[in-house]
Amino acid sequence: MKIYITNCIAGYLCFNNNFELIDYILFKEEDIVNKLIEIEKNNITSEEREIISHIDDSYDEIIIETRNKHSDYKNIENYDKIKIEIPSKAGNYLRENLIEILEEINFINNPEEYREKLVNITNKIAILKMKESSQEEDKLLIQAINSIDEIDEGISKLIERIREWETIYFPEIETIHNNEAYIKLIADFNNREDAIKNNKNLEDKISNGADLEEDDIIILKKFAKSIKSLQESRKDIEEYIDLKMNKIAPNLQSLLGSTLGAKLISHAGSLKRLAMFPASTIQIMGAEKALFRHLKTGENPPKYGLIYQDPIVRNSNYWNRGKIARKLALKISLAVKRDYFTDKYEPGIKEEFEKEVEIIEKENPFPKTRNQKNKNNKTKKTHKKSKKQRRHKKRRRKH
């Protein structure tokens, strides 16, 4: 018989085979942020140890949803029964029914309370990560860019929720696709009538939505203000990343921009490590899964990883993209080495790259046909044969 252990912002929960909640341990309110960071760092928390110890002998398999290694649990009771599964069936069930389960364990009283807690915790995690003590500037930069990713994930989920909620009251607002404008409209106006008057896209429209009580509208407005605050925090962190990149990696910033440059530093672990990588590693950084798949199954190797996010690479013709990615990786390697070893800003690296891209595009305006590829392959083979023949002749002469 199996038992599942998984976690969420509230704490650790146990489910049986039928996904019935049989045990749970909640984090203390003041410890939630620190506990979530502990889990992110792949540390086994005291709550996880405790909930494992509660499991009786009637269960022969303990399925834990975690990124930890199985060996990390070797000093824990019931180690032989523990199996790692990510994602687990119980974890998927928890995420699909999160609000109802959190209400069941008295972590929240209603969905609105969950959203407020999520915004609050996300903000605290972002701030805490930014304030983590570190003497190296690039460590601060890494925390900032990772915080941006987490804030984006949080904002995306919350906007999806408020769009579903707001549609009940004001379905016409769905014509506004820009998320910032959407949230601003809800947060700044008291009701849909005011919003219609003050927005050109909604002029002369009569809403077909349900009539809500004032309390319902106030809650929606507060929720929108929370998301707006999170969006403003994101902008502040973006500005902070700009300043940090300008300070520690101006050449890389000039070539790639602050966000992509910071992501590469974060993926490498530090500016120093990125400076030590060859261009070939930088080119496929972020495409490790595709690389391992190539090594395992023989599929085509990846031509680019994170650097695909650069607009020049992304918008180039597909048949030139590999060459352009290779050129960009070389420029990145050069820029990072300048930043780390010389600490001098040398303008013009971006312009040099753009000129090289123009040359590649001019030389290859159309994709190669199969016949051209076959001819190239044949010429390569004949060259190889001729070399072998020459070596063979040389050996015969020696004899």
For residues 360 and 254, membership in a common domain is answered with yes
Q: For residue 280, what are the domain limits? A: 250-367
Q: Is residue 117 part of a domain?
A: no
| Per-residue pLDDT, 128 | 74
| Per-residue pLDDT, 374 | 56
Hey, is 7 helix, strand or coil?
A: strand
> What span, in angstroms and rounded, lies between the C-alpha atoms of 160 and 361?
40
CB within 8 Å of 324: residues ≥ 6 apart: 312, 313, 316, 357, 360
Q: Is residue 397 part of a domain?
A: no
Closest CA to 248 of 267, 269, 272: 272
| Per-residue pLDDT, 345 | 87
The domain boundary residue, chosen from 84, 109, 134:
109
Measured in degrees and rounded to the nearest 5, phi and psi for residue 185 equal -65, -40
Q: Report pTM.
A: 0.58
CATH code, domain carrying 284? 1.10.246.90
301 preceded by a cis bond (ω within 30 of 0): no
For residues 29 and 57, membership in a common domain is answered with yes
| Per-residue pLDDT, 342 | 81
> Do 307 and 313 touch, CB atoms closer than 8 A?
yes
Q: Is residue 289 part of a domain?
A: yes
Q: Is residue 385 part of a domain?
A: no
For residues 133 and 81, membership in a common domain is answered with no
Which residue is associated with the tokens 């020049």? 312
For residues 237 and 274, membership in a common domain is answered with no
CATH code, domain carrying 96? 3.30.420.220
Q: Is residue 340 part of a domain?
A: yes
Q: Is residue 398 part of a domain?
A: no
For residues 193 and 288, membership in a common domain is answered with no
For residues 171 and 203, membership in a common domain is answered with yes
> What span, in angstroms and rounded, lies between the C-alpha atoms of 139 and 326?
27
Overall number of domains in the chain: 3
Hey, is 69 helix, strand or coil?
A: coil
CATH code, domain carrying 134? 1.10.287.4070
Q: Is residue 395 part of a domain?
A: no
**DSSP per residue, 287-342:** -HHHHHHHHHH-PPPPS-SGGGGSHHHHTS-TTTHHHHHHHHHHHHHHHHHIIIII
For residues 139 and 188, membership in a common domain is answered with yes
**Beta strand 82-84 pairing with 61-64:** parallel
For residues 291 and 204, membership in a common domain is answered with no
* Per-residue model confidence as pLDDT tens for the chain (399 residues): 889 999 999 999 999 988 899 999 999 988 999 999 899 888 899 999 999 988 888 888 899 999 888 888 888 887 888 899 988 999 999 999 999 999 999 999 998 899 889 999 988 888 777 555 434 688 889 999 999 989 999 999 999 999 998 888 888 788 888 899 889 888 888 777 777 776 766 666 666 777 778 888 889 889 999 999 999 999 999 999 999 999 889 999 999 999 999 999 999 998 889 999 999 999 999 888 888 888 888 888 888 899 999 999 999 999 999 999 999 999 999 999 998 888 788 888 999 999 999 999 999 888 877 655 555 555 555 555 555 566 555 555 555
Q: Which contacts (CB < 8 Å, 24+ apart) does range 82-87 have?
A: 82/52
Q: Is residue 374 part of a domain?
A: no
For residues 42 and 92, membership in a common domain is answered with yes
